[in-house]
Amino acid sequence: MKDEWSANYFHWMTNCLPRLWIGLKSGDSDRVISPESYRYLKYVTESLEILNLRPSFYHSNENIWVENLILPPRTASFPNFNEKYTQQTRENLSLKTLSAPTKKVYVSRKFAPKRTTHNETEVELLMVKNGFEILYMEHLSFREQLRLMSTTKVLVSLHGAALTNMLFMQVGQIVVELRNRGDSKTQCYFNLASALGQKYYYTLNTAGVNDSIMSNFTIDLTALQKIIDQIEG
């Protein structure tokens, strides 16, 4: 149930796990077969542990024999999402809370190797002024991210894997994507928000190239403040 993108956090959560829900319908096994390299991806091992599934890891230079192999199909073509199985990911992994979410969270990519912001200090100052917590997802375990998202009302982040965590927010909460002005094609997080019933907002920002994956950004602070004002109404 993997491809060349599956080791990426976004694709593991939005493609691999929905395929897993199909495979588990048979009830034949709780065993998941994955490449050896996945053993070192904490979000893979922790998510499978939470789900009470047993991973079996194999090396690329070995052959394995499986008597009954279930290979689930894709649940949707990228960048679209099957609402039923996407919502099942939230149901199976998100933490349930009795109180309404109140946190306002800005996820910074300050420590990321790529896709950072040239004016990150100014962005963080603006977010703090508006009552947001500044967080770095690479400093949090998967379980800590689940706990954080269960109490998050507004999630703001640059285009990137951190926005995948909208999966674990309560239904109807707010997501703000800081997008690349030159990229009108990358709609995956809008589509994910739609599949989950989250409220989606965005701002357009200047990037070096139209490829949102590779470019660094300069965030439009005026547009960001306007969106925050609109949200808080």
Spans of all domains in the chain: 9-91, 103-232
Q: Quote the pLDDT of residue 55.
A: 93
Burial class (CB in 10 A: 0-12, 13-18, 19+), 97: exposed
The two structure tokens encoding residue 103: 């946190």
pLDDT at 47 > cutoff 60: yes
Rounded CA-CA distance 129/88 in Å is: 36
The pLDDT of residue 197 is 97
The per-residue pLDDT for range 50-98, each reduced to its tens digit, is 999 999 999 989 888 888 888 889 999 888 999 999 999 999 999 988 8
Q: Does 5 have pLDDT greater than 80?
A: no
Alpha helices in the chain (DSSP H): 9-11, 17-24, 42-50, 83-93, 120-129, 142-150, 188-196, 221-232
Residue 203 bridge partners (DSSP): 178
pLDDT of res. 199: 98
Beta bridge partners of residue 57, listed in sequence order: 34
Task: Report the alpha-carbon distance of residue 202 to residue 223 in Å, rounded.
Answer: 9
- Cα separation, 124 vs 90, in Å, equals 29
Interatomic CA distance for residues 233 and 174, integer angstroms? 13
pLDDT at 78: 86
Architecture of domain 103-232: 3-Layer(aba) Sandwich (3.40)
Across 180-209, b (16+ Cβ under 10 Å) vs e yields beebeebebbbbbbebbebebbbbebebee
Residue 178 dihedral angles phi and psi, to the nearest 5°: -90, 105
Helix (H, G, I), strand (E, B) or coil at 207: strand
pLDDT beyond 90 at 21 = yes
Q: For residue range 158-192, list pLDDT tens digits in order.
A: 999 999 999 999 999 999 999 999 998 899 999 99
Q: Give the pLDDT score at 30.
A: 85
- Compute the average pLDDT of residues 103-118: 91
The lowest-confidence range among 99-108, 150-159, 209-218 is 209-218
pLDDT, position 1: 57
Residues contacting residue 67 through CB under 8 Å, at least 6 positions apart: none
